[in-house]
Structure 1
């Protein structure tokens, strides 16, 4: 399944930038993934890119244009589409926004704004953590959390982490 799974990314009519680092990282990662296709006929899912700070009227126009230009939205009323929005979309009266909110999967940032997340279909991205390279000297490495296997103080995992020369730590 993974070898044939494809995502088509719609091209917005005007260039834009995402309003949060999480949205930008998600979009950049998606564009670089092996799942992206340039042929919408091959796609299983469709990504709808828009800046979350756009007005609801502009987003509704973008969806309207998609439905007029491409047949893919109309096949499922957007059920095979997804978008990323840290601000989230509310329930608006415009038909295009209602279908986007009701049928498409919203990928939100953590924490999700109240009332802008549908638990049975939407997805939340975890918060971004900065990862830095620590010095290779064992005294400077930080191990934040060790799992104790069967109650043993010195598990195999703990010993491997102590002897690890990579020295990666998470900074909050």
Structure 2
């Protein structure tokens, strides 16, 4: 399976939703940045959606929030984007989105996507959050470990005996 597994990343999306890996992968949203960077460089990525097992929806609620977009507008942007994927490509309709996934960190993405029930109900949500009690659906959602960069040193510094 590992040899054959493929992920297709949708190429569409406007500049407000399509994610571009930031230069600095720091702060509480670093996990999201690392995920986007790694999936783009992954050997699992395919340019051919016909051979894909999963479809990555490259939206970044964190990026939209950073541009000052309200939660209500983020919900509209995400809903319009998902609707455009459904209309333009046949892949969503094959499984009603069950083989699609997106990444979101913290409450920003949870709040922005909760108004898109089709996305939340059907798609796999990869969540990095300090709390998984807000809309996390255990049988389909995935927890992404939260990475804080730079990694803090333990109280004893880098000396193993003092950890």
1:89 to 92, 95, 110: 110
* 3-state DSSP of counterpart to 2:137: coil
Residue 72 (str. 1) matches residue 100 (str. 2) = no
Do the aligned residues in 2 keep the contact of 1:89 with 1:101 (CA within 8 Å)?
A: no
Provide, for residues 107-158 of structure 1, a one-character-per-residue CA deviation record: whole Å limited to 9, x for no partner: 11131364231122111111215459xxxxxxx642688xxxxxxxxxxxxx
Q: How does 1:93-108 map to 2 (within 5 A)?
A: 97-108=116-127
CA contact (8 A) 1:12 1:50 kept: no
Aligned 8 A contact 2:8 2:45 in 1: yes
The whole-number CA distance in structure 2 between the counterparts of 1:23 and 1:63 is: 19
What is the root-mean-square deviation of aligned Cα atoms in Å?
2.7
Aligned to 2:40: 31
Rg larger for: 1
Q: Within 2, Cα distance between the matches of 1:25 and 1:76?
A: 28
TM-score by length of 2: 0.72
Deviations 1:70-111 (A, max 9, x none): 00001111000000011333542xxxx212101111011131
Name the counterpart of 2:11: 11
Change over 3 Å in CA distance of 1:82–1:17 after alignment to 2: closer
The answer to whether the Cα contact below 8 Å between 2:19 and 2:36 also exists between their aligned partners in 1 is no
Q: TM-score by structure 1 length?
A: 0.69
- Contact 1:88–1:116 (CA under 8 A) maintained in structure 2: no
**Cα 1:143–1:30 shift into 2, 3 Å:** farther
Aligned length: 136
CA distance in 2, matches of 1:51, 1:144: 40
Query: Which structure shows the higher helix fraction?
Result: 2
